[in-house]
Amino acid sequence: MARLIDGKKIAAQIKEEVKGEVEELLAQGRKICLAVVQVGEDPASSVYVRNKQRACEYVGIKSVLKKLPDETKEEELLAVIKDMNQDDGIQGILVQLPLPAHIEEDKVIRAISPEKDVDGFHPENVGRLCIGEKGFLPCTPAGVIKLLKYSGIEIEGKECVVVGRSNIVGKPMSLLLLRENGTVTVVHSRTKNLQEITKRADILIVAMGKPMFITAEYVKEGAAVIDVGIHRKEDGHLCGDVDFESVKETAAYITPVPGGVGPMTIAMLMRNCVLAAE
Ligand code: GUN
């Protein structure tokens, strides 16, 4: 029976630390403001944006929300970002993804000043991560590393398997595990013998976007399983990419959904906002 990795509790600890750091910065006369841009009314995005703003309020970071309609033109969004880049009252900028199909995400991410890129998505920050230079780390993968460390799970020398190769999670996740001296394999939708490879993992990170796909048959006895997925089931409940009930019998550690990786993403965003203000 696996031990539960309580992301909510660990995130709360991190937010307490950040709260103290914010107090210090404000006492020194520094400003910390996060600008959040949301284009359209995607319900999941609205929930995430609200949670990010709540976290800001809790730790003492000012936040401003720029809500734009679905039909906003790409140039209009780029102009908003340009203004925010030049605004000394804004230290961090976050454009909530996904964007409507007529807007090129890549172009928008590149438009954000790398010094204000608290998501860590700008190619400059991605490049820094790749070569081990200091920069903004993407919040979800950075949160996963924190979860492992807080839970006393050693990464060095371990077989780490990342399921998924997205720019937001899979790719940066693999780089961060490598930085921690893990032996890293990335598997994806075209991988042959997926199960054979995931079953080798001491640390299995799942970010494939398929509800409850990973069952006990994919997991080695005693593995640590981190579930990055989040989906709403027909009955209204949330679930991850991992079949929790099945895998909890095989794994030594497992994250729940909700209450695992999600709260950590937000806690790490608060961390990045402090970095941006410094
Ligand atoms: N959409 C899903 N995850 C994220 C994230 O970490 N940052 C942003 N900006 N959008 C997202």
Q: Give per-residue pLDDT as tens, 203-257.
A: 999 999 999 999 999 999 999 999 999 999 999 999 999 999 999 999 999 999 9
Q: Is 235 a catalytic residue?
A: no
> 203-206 and 159-163 as β-strands: parallel, antiparallel, unpaired?
parallel
Q: Is 53 a catalytic residue?
A: no
| 150: Cα separation from own chain's centroid | 17
Candidate list 117, 119, 202, 241, residue with the active-site label: 119
Fill in the DSSP letter of residue 262.
H
Report the separation in Å between the CA atom of 140 and the middle of ligand 1, taken as the mean of its atom positions: 9
> What does the block give as tokens for 23?
């107090």
> What does the block give as tokens for 9?
């509790």
Q: Is the entire prediction scored with pTM above 0.95?
A: yes
- Banded pLDDT at 84 (limits 50, 70, 90): very high
Report the separation in Å between the CA atom of 217 and the middle of ligand 1, taken as the mean of its atom positions: 30
Residues sharing a CB contact under 8 Å with residue 10, sequence separation 6 or more, in sequence order: 146, 147, 150, 263, 264, 267
Question: Are 208 and 229 in contact, with CB atoms under 8 Å apart?
Answer: yes
> What does the block give as tokens for 243?
């079949």
Q: What is the pLDDT of residue 158?
A: 98
Q: What average pLDDT does the segment 47-51 reach?
A: 97
